[in-house]
């Protein structure tokens, strides 16, 4: 609950900072620091309380997910994780994983991202290369942390349950993604 409060405090600072550029920059810096601290604390707490025992690795390689093109069109995919079939949609330069919040093991997330990238790589933010599986897994993890921190019934919680892996979110923190969403960045 403490982390939700810090997150909401940071969001309020971001939204209410508007008197001057200096005040806005100071408030933004404070908000980013609060969210970064809350995120780090939540991640640390998650690591301590929900260790690999809670989210055991199920994959030995990216091939273990049996990624399959549903209709042969190159857009609609399924993969298996544990006993569950997940859906992944590919749009030009973007993967969307439906109900991604249900997958929590970081190594498995990276292997899933590698399998997706092997089929359709996603450009990096400056379009000079492609995102790494590790970077995409980081973004996915940020969505999972946001999903855990947001209150039930929040429209943003609904949005955080599915991750969209695209160029503009390369190396972004949860705070930066949140700020972009408020500003209408996506």
Residues 78 and 154 placed together within one structural domain of the fold: yes
Query: Could you read off the pLDDT of 79-88 as tens digits, one per residue?
Result: 999 999 999 9
Cβ–Cβ under 8 Å, residues 174 and 146: yes
Residues 85 and 163 placed together within one structural domain of the fold: yes
What tokens appear for 31 in the block? 């908000």
Residue 179 belongs to some domain of the structure: no
Residues 112 and 21 placed together within one structural domain of the fold: no
Residues 10 and 82 placed together within one structural domain of the fold: no
Residues 72 and 154 placed together within one structural domain of the fold: yes
Residues 9 and 30 placed together within one structural domain of the fold: yes
Share of the chain above pLDDT 90, in %: 55
Number of domains in the chain: 2
Residues 43 and 68 placed together within one structural domain of the fold: no
d(CA 151, CA 80) in angstroms, rounded, equals 29
Question: What are 90's strand-pairing partners?
Answer: 95
What tokens appear for 15 in the block? 């939204």
Lowest mean pLDDT: which of 16-25, 59-68, 89-98? Answer: 16-25
Q: Is 85 exposed, middle or buried (0-12, 13-18, 19+ CB in 10 A)?
A: exposed
Residue 64: CB atoms within 10 A of its CB come to 16
List C-alpha distances in Å: 33 to 62, 74, 180. 35, 41, 16
């Amino acid at each position: 609950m403490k982390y939700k409060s810090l997150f909401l405090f940071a969001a309020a600072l971001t939204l209410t900072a508007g008197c001057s550029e200096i005040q806005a920059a100071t408030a933004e810096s404070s908000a980013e620091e609060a969210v970064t601290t809350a995120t780090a604390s939540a991640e640390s707490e998650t690591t301590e309380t929900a260790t690999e025992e809670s989210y055991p690795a199920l994959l030995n390689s990216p091939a273990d997910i049996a990624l399959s093109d549903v209709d042969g069109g190159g857009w609609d995919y399924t993969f298996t994780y544990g006993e569950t079939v997940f859906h992944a949609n590919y749009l030009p330069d973007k993967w969307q994983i439906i109900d991604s919040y249900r997958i929590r093991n970081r190594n498995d997330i990276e292997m899933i991202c590698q399998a997706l990238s092997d089929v359709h790589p996603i450009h990096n933010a400056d379009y000079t290369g492609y995102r790494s599986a590790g970077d995409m897994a980081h973004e996915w993890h940020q969505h999972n942390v946001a999903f855990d921190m947001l209150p039930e019934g929040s429209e943003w919680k609904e949005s955080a349950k599915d991750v969209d892996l695209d160029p503009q979110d390369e190396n972004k923190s949860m705070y930066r993604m949140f700020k972009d969403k408020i500003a209408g960045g996506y």
